Amino acid sequence: MFTMRRHRKKSVRAAADRVDAALDTVALPDPWQIGDYVDAVAAQRGRPIMLHAMPLRASTGLCGLWLALPDRDVIVHETSTVDEHQEVIICHELAHMLLEHTSDTSLTAAELAHQVTGVDMEVVRARGHSNFDRIEELEAELFARKLIARVRDTHDGAPREGKIRRILDSF
């Protein structure tokens, strides 16, 4: 048990290091606008990113989904939540891109991708916000929370590191 806990802490520390490195790859737009940040990530990746808002939770249980189409990326995000939460969801999906996480092709993601785009899932790599390798989800969520904390720190100076530490400790 002790060895497993130590291994888990090392994994969490390594994840935090990967997140910090990824956060430094794209500059924050000033003033902050989520659309401008999405555009900056798209430019860095050399692929357009489209945002598509729709009610997800009721039908899929997801709040966000990244679809890697052959010619562009699509982030589908929940509409039935406050703007701040939508930003966290979008940043979470951007984290999967920046951290080069692999795709998930669960039936729910496949069906949703077809509904949203009309594209056959054989040409789509999909990643939804559910049922994934725990460390990749930790990285994506940590990235989103740290990014939003950086945005808030630049705008109001309020430190968020304590909250981020509690999130890390929960894994």
- At 90-128, the pLDDT tens digits run 999 999 999 999 766 554 555 655 655 555 555 555 555
Q: Which residue type occupies 52?
A: H
Q: Which residues contact 117 (CB under 8 A, 6 or more apart)?
A: 67, 69, 74, 124
Would residue 125 count as lying in a domain? yes
How many residues does this entry show for the chain? 171
Number of domains forming the structure of the chain: 1
- Please, what is the Cα angle at 24 between 20 and 29, to 5 degrees? 130
Q: Is 71 contained in some domain?
A: yes
Q: What is the pLDDT of residues 9-19, one digit of tens each?
A: 778 889 999 99
Taking the C-alpha atoms of residue 42 and residue 39, their distance in angstroms, rounded to an integer, is 5
Range of the domain at 145: 8-169
Instruction: Confirm whether 150 is domain-assigned.
Output: yes
Is 2 among the domain residues?
Answer: no
- Cα separation of 6 and 166, whole Å? 18
Query: Which stretches within the chain are classed as H helix?
Result: 2-23, 34-45, 57-60, 83-98, 107-117, 134-156, 161-169
The answer to the question of residue 113 being in a domain is: yes
Considering the domain boundaries, does residue 124 fall inside one?
yes
Q: pTM value?
A: 0.74
Residue pair 65/109 in contact (Cβ under 8 Å)? The answer is: yes
Amino acid at residue number 84: E
In this structure, are residues 92 and 81 in contact, taking their beta carbons and an 8 Å threshold? no
**55 inside domain:** yes
Q: What would the mean pLDDT of 17-39 be, rounded to a whole number?
A: 96
Q: What are phi and psi of 126, to 5 degrees?
A: -120, 145
What letter would DSSP give residue 63? S
Residue 116 falls within a domain, yes or no? yes
Confidence grade of residue 131 (pLDDT, cut at 50, 70, 90): very low
